[in-house]
Each structure stands twice: as C-alpha cells, then as structure tokens.
Amino acid sequence: MRLPQSVSTLLQEAETTLTAHPQLLDMFNKCYPNTLETTVKLLQDESVFVITGDIPAMWLRDSSAQVRHYLPLAAGDEDLQHLLEGLIRRQIAFIHIDPYANAFNEAANDNRFDWDLTELNAWVWERKYEIDSLCYPIQLAYLYWKETGVMRQFDDSFRAAVHTILSLWKTEQRHAEQSPYRFARVDCPPSDTLRNNRMGMPVNYTGMTWSAFRPSDDACTFGYLIPSNMFAVVALRYIEEIAEEVWEDAELVRLAAELREEIDFGIQTYGTYLHPKYGRIYAYETDGLGNYNLMDDANVPSLLSIPYLGYTTHDDPIYQNTRNFVLSSDNPYFYEGKYAKGIGSPHTPPGYIWHISLSMQALTSQDDAEIAELLNMLQRTDAGTGYMHEGFDPNRPENYTRPWFAWANSLFAELIHRLMGKGFFS
C-alpha cells in the first residue's frame, strides 16, 4: 500500500537523526515500512488482512505486533487510522469465528497448516490455542485509543468479543473439568501436538488460565504459561478501563477485575521459584503441582518482556532477578557466538538467536551501554540484507530462518524510533 504521510515524514526525519549511523539508517528505512509495503491488504468490507510475512496467513499476535510501531503516528494520520481500525475489526471478526485459533485465512478457503485433530473451520489456518492471541487485539485497540482518543473500535462486536474472551479464560482456569478444546497433530515433533489424549499434561487449579501453546507456536510443557498469564492480567486491566470509561458497564468492570485478581494471585502464588543462584524469579511455566519450567523463549510474551507488556516495572526485584537468569547460560535457550549473544527458541535450530529477543532486550534495558552493544549486534547479524530475521547462527549470521518476518522488522523499528525520541543518537 501507499505509505501514509506520517510514515514518509518520519523516514525523512531519520535521515537527519541517524546520519552518523548509516547502517542503522538503512535498516530503519527498510524495516519501519515493511509491514505496510509487504503484508497489508484492504478487503472489500473495509477490514484489513495482515499476513505474517512468508506465511500466507494472519496471526492475531503477529498482526498486532506488526503495526504497534505505527501507533505513535496515528493521531494525525487518517490513512493510518483507517488501516488500524480495519485490522482491529478483522481481528475481532476472527475471534468470533474461533476464539481458540491462532491464525486465520483471508477467506473461508480451507487452507491450513495441517489437518489437525481438532475442531476445524474453513477460516482457520491453525488452531493452536495461545492465551496471547486474545491479549494482543485487546492491547492494540486500547493503545490505539490512548494514542488517538478514538473509540470507534469499541463497538458492539468488540464488546461481545470481550465477553467471549472472559468466558474462555474462566473456562480454562479449570481446563480438565470444563474445556472443550482438544488438539493433536499426526506425524510431527512433540512440540507440535498435545499429550494426554489431546488435552495437555495435568494441571492443578491455581487461578491462572491454561494455555496449550506458547507464542512460538510450540506446545507448553506445563499448562500455566507465566508470561502469557501476565499479559492476560494487563489485558484485563485494559478491559476494566474500557468498560468503565467507554461503555459505563459496572458489571463488566467487576467481572474483569475479579478474573484479573484470580490470575494474578495464581502468578504470585504458584508462578515464582526460589533459585539458589538468582533468588526469587518468575518461572516460564508451571502446572500448579510443584513442577516448574525454568527458561525463556524469544517470542513475546516472554519473561524478558515483562515491563514492555506492562505487568510490572523494570526495577521490580523479581523481574531483575528473572532478567539476570534469562540472560545467562542458565537459561537453556540463551546462546552466545562470535557476533551476538541472546535468547533463542526451541522453535528454531539449537544455538540460533532471535532478533526479536535482541530488540526486546534493548527495549527493556535502562543501560545505554547495553543498548549500544545490542544495536551493534543487530547490525552485525542482518546478513547484509538490512532486515531482521527469525533465528540466526551467531557465528554465521548468513544462516538464518525466515527471510521475510515482519514482526521482527517492526519490533526493531519500534526500538529505533523510541531511541530517536529519547535523543539516544544525539
């Protein structure tokens, strides 16, 4: 699509701000408009379909993250407003089709990643239930409101979707007893399917809400995914504010607050672990039965991203301990090579670091020296393309997965734009 005027103006400003950093300027000029230039399609109903890049489907998570960096420009740009509101409408329509699905088709064409053993729908590309798939559209609509003052997105369809989300999260607090969700994939790695008769491993009631898969689209080891439950707490705060200020719906405020308190109680009671080296940290996953998965994954929501999500602040002692843990070799997915060190994912080859994690580490850092080194790593590992990728080999950055991964480009662009606004490059 044609670039909105506000985007063109920002790219012109970057020519001056980043003049002493020519490689960063080139990367910013490529990454910032990448979503608009390559992934956006305006549909006949005026909604907007946003593919993830080199996969021809729309993820609720990715599509939200791909446009977040445009929000600061939206207040004065009607073209961007049209795009963002159209995307929110399309996301809400998809939630009404299947709130358990993570990725959707442009039309009801029966395209799908695989013929999984789950409830199939012609609109659904993949039906891996992930808590964050329902958090991201709430976040996008809320942040759009806060940036622009616009409330058109909070229509009856959005309100109905909120009730659907609350009901689903309540159901998944008692997954074994109440959930209708089942999923299995045949002839695949264990990370692509659920054990225990398509239900996942047993969990105890904690107050948290269950997730089948992580934001990496890999199956959870234990069903209570802590970063995603944190994101749900934040999304429920947003729902409370929308219900109170926009809809004046006291009952919805009460329902959202009650659920938020239950989930947060579960996080604080069952979701931390007293580590002998780092002190009290947040676990990545737990089952409420005494088992913990101590790790972090590059995909967001992650433990690294906790302050970015808005769950707590950077100086929270448990977050600081957790950050020290996930950015160390004690995290099984923290890797180091000749050109970079950072967090990867079991979703990609062992040893591969994700550009998303490097950008997120910088976005959540308060140390200018750390940020500067991360910017150097990002420049050293673009493989000469000017774009971000999914995972890459830190010893041979020309070996990478996903040459066209818009989320990674958008998060890098958000980082650079934020640093420009703070005068980091002055």
pLDDT digits (tens, 9 = 90+) for 204-228: 999 999 999 999 999 999 999 999 9
CA distances from 208 to 92, 213, 338, 344 (A): 24, 15, 40, 26
| Two tokens, residue 303 | 């433990």
The alpha carbon dihedral of 328, 330, 336, 341 has a sign of: negative
Rounded-to-integer distance, Cα 396 and Cα 398, Å = 5
pLDDT given for residue 2 in this prediction: 84
Q: Are 95 and 164 in contact (CB under 8 A)?
A: yes
Which residues fall within 8 angstroms of residue 29, CB to CB, at 6 or more apart?
Answer: 11, 14, 386
The fold of 5-421 is Glycosyltransferase (1.50.10)
Q: Are 130 and 183 in contact (CB under 8 A)?
A: no
- 273 bridge partner residues: 281
Q: 132: closest CA among 51, 234, 203, 57?
A: 234
Angle at 10 between CA 4 and CA 16, to 5 degrees: 150
Low-confidence ranges of the chain (pLDDT < 70): none
Rounded-to-integer distance, Cα 287 and Cα 272, Å = 12
Q: 33: closest CA among 75, 73, 86?
A: 73
Q: Are 210 and 203 in contact (CB under 8 A)?
A: yes
pTM tops 0.75, yes or no: yes
What confidence tens digit (pLDDT) does each residue in 292-319 have?
A: 999 999 999 999 999 999 999 999 999 9
